[in-house]
Structure 1
């Protein structure tokens, strides 16, 4: 018989609260909101680092990925662990959807399902092409280059015709080891920001607006971006829920990042299904909605 109903996954650096580091405190605080919401529903809950070598993962019915934000820096190790643990317990979200969502090629699958994504060109590993050739072929001037497997804006570069030569060496080193993607620079993200829509069990719960700091194009708060509450339109809510329902299976939680593209249309920037920041501190009630979805999942499995 399982000892726990649900283990909340984090990483070692976020296991403990911090009185001096606001970022670490927010991570801890939000995970605790989920922890207490699960406990209030009578679920036996624990919070652990995903690489805890002493825990027997078969002793929990579910594991919930929350703040495992080092996985893309330790991808080979994480991938092997994921394969092992998926045989011992149920993952939220599932191994299948995690592996699908890790690689940004998933955007092409969504596009085939009539989801309007940011215009994108994928450059496969070992491709024999230069940045100058790409920009000439695609007729793009201002672009953003990033890896297909990434996070926290790792190796994300803003390019233009004038600085391609300066980035060419880095691009060639990257493309030897991994696939990359090139996208036209989206000017509205700088001026209007990017909207993050939280969707649990297919239903929208809350949204926030992220804006880059002056002089930057990255909206993540890691890089000084701002975050504020946002009330989305009915069209934006419908778009976010449609994105989630277009996945290979319905995730129990999702963050849908959307923006207004250069043609003034709602477009999908990213669909975060692995370990998204969900901003429960802006909407604590949403932690209870996620907890209820988890309890319903347990009841269905039993």
Structure 2
């Protein structure tokens, strides 16, 4: 089995998972069977791999068409994990509206395509592009600032999403549920959970390199209702339509009103390149590698017929 772990030149030094996951895969497959490669490296012969796993292609948000062309090209010559259809769907956060139609509580969101007017709001909101990662392009806006940031995103050809700021985030943060292949079958099982501290507590956001905002990451023991919501997301028709999902991360946040019928809401579903912060949980890199390699073998990926 030849396995490629896909990053980007600008992202590789910032990816906390790349080294431990690479080491875990090499320990199981051998040093010659695993390579870290950049998605836009023209020298890479993708057909030489039995599978390539997208890990930290974090510059795709600025190069979406180019990235999706690469996704299609690579998926035609090897096994892309996760698959092309799932990647395409997950690049644009308008998928949240699709989840909502299936009863999944999401942050109340207004999507504003170029040419459409910004909504009039009366409280603090967050405005960000529907295609973005690591809070890139996101801004905390007072009511009179919303239209200006929507216009700025429109000028870049982007669709904006406008969401009320969740006040309890400042205290509680988000819970990120990291899923890996189940021990048997095609489902996913929870590996671990971590807490992401609120990023947009002010309009001045500290950056980590040029790609994403610096995050406060700690171990989290989730509420059972949060866990149930994360599981429910993966059971939706929207997600189940995709074959061979091998990993996912579901980010769950506290609703502004803790007494509401839905005290938690989904912020994001990552099927492309989620950070798992494997170093936080002893054994999580080994678990991910074990489960992924077993999953590939069940699907006869890299196994001689």
Same fold (TM over 0.5): yes
Q: 1:260 to 1:40 in 2, by over 3 A?
A: same
The yes-or-no answer on 1:154 pairing with 2:136 is yes
- 1:10 equivalenced with 2:4 (yes/no): no
Runs of 5+ consecutive residues of structure 1 not aligned to the other structure: 16-23
**Deviation (angstroms), 1:169:** 4.7
Partner of 2:89: 100
Deviates more, 1:219-228 or 1:144-153: 219-228
Describe how 1:1-302 pairs up with structure 2 within 5 A: 4-15=1-12, 24=13, 27=15, 30-42=17-29, 44-127=33-116, 129=117, 131=118, 134-135=119-120, 140-164=122-146, 167=149, 169-174=151-156, 177-201=157-181, 202-212=188-198, 215-216=201-202, 222-246=212-236, 247=239, 248-249=241-242, 251-264=245-258, 265-302=263-300
> 2:10, 2:59 within 8 Å by CA — same for their partners in 1?
no
Deviation at 1:34, TM superposition (A): 1.3
Scaled by the length of structure 1, what TM-score is found? 0.84
CA contact (8 A) 1:258 1:270 kept: yes
| Per-residue deviation, residues 199-240 of structure 1 (Å, max 9, x unmatched) | 113211111112136953769875444211111133222221
**Root mean square deviation, CA, Å:** 2.4
- Aligned equivalent of 1:21: none
Structure 1 residue 172: deviation in Å? 4.8
Alpha-carbon distance in 1 for matches of 2:96, 2:137: 19
Distance change (3 Å), C-alpha of 1:115 and 1:229: same
Q: Which runs of 5+ in 2 are unaligned?
A: 182-187, 301-305
TM-score relative to the length of structure 2:
0.83
| Mean CA deviation greater in 258-267 or 34-43 | 34-43
- Give distance in 2, aligned partners of 1:214 and 1:116: 21
- 2: CA distance between counterparts of 1:70 and 1:165? 26
Higher relative contact order (CA 8 A, sep 6+): 2
2:140·2:200 contact (CA, 8 Å) conserved in 1? no
**Post-superposition shift, 1:171?**
4.9
Secondary structure of 1:238's counterpart equals helix
